Amino acid sequence: MIDSNKLWSCVGSAGTVDPADIGKVVFAGSVVQMPGVVIGPVEPGARVSVPPRPQAKAVIRYSVTPVDGVALQSKPLERYALRVVARTGSGGVHVRFLQVPMITGPATQIGETALIDFPLQDGFAAAGFNVFSSVNVSAPELDFVNNSYYVEITLNEAVGGLDINPPGVALIQLAPTTRF
């Protein structure tokens, strides 16, 4: 594969669940999801009405490792895109790509910068998995020497009763792109 086409990717079930959220998610093959029942496909454009319920959430984090080609932005019109294959279900999914600077001495706190931050919204609770993508054209070049990076996924679901089509994530990719 040509370096400029390489990407970092991870399946949803390979993430680290926040300690406070252990037991709130289910790993099913490559998918991480909130507990619930997944129903089959519905007619295109059909909306599934789910009555409002209180929200519960779970946070899953994915360490991003350097891959040749992802950090390089040798072309002025090249950036990186974050793609997520997810099912928003009857809850929702929020995605953040964060940068954490390496410190050189004592610090009272560690800062984080959100390079890409977006909620996944498709409006079709029973539509199954879809591809969502986001690019931040003002985000800096990735620098794995002076920074560390991770993707944070927050799954939200309504609590109380059985959740049909719970939110879930199957795949995350960080790849160079010229389309934005």
Compute the average pLDDT of residues 105-124. 78
Q: State how many domains the chain has.
A: 1
Average pLDDT across the chain, whole number:
79
CA distance 24 to 30: 17
Q: Is residue 74 part of a domain?
A: yes
Q: How far is CA 150 from the centre of its chain?
A: 10
Q: Is residue 15 part of a domain?
A: yes
Q: Is residue 42 part of a domain?
A: no
Q: Which two tokens stand for residue 11?
A: 């399946």
Range of the domain at 116: 3-36+57-103+110-169
Rg for the chain, CA atoms, rounded: 17
Q: Is residue 178 part of a domain?
A: no
pLDDT tens column, 27-79: 988 999 888 766 555 555 555 444 444 468 999 999 998 876 665 555 556 67
pLDDT tens column, 72-98: 555 556 678 899 999 888 788 999 999
At 126, the pLDDT band (50, 70, 90 cuts) reads low
Q: Is residue 68 part of a domain?
A: yes
Compute the average pLDDT of residues 107-117. 84
CA distance 131 to 120: 9
- Beta bridge partners, 125, equal none
120 vs 123, more confident = 120
Q: Is residue 174 part of a domain?
A: no
Q: Is the pLDDT of residue 112 over 80?
A: yes
Compute the average pLDDT of residues 174-178. 81
Residue 88 and residue 166 in contact, taking contact as beta carbons nearer than 8 Å:
no
Compute the average pLDDT of residues 9-18. 92
Q: Is residue 145 part of a domain?
A: yes
Q: What count of other Cβ atoms lies within 10 Å of the Cβ of residue 66?
A: 14
Q: Which two tokens stand for residue 41?
A: 């496909």
| Side chain identity, residue 179 | R
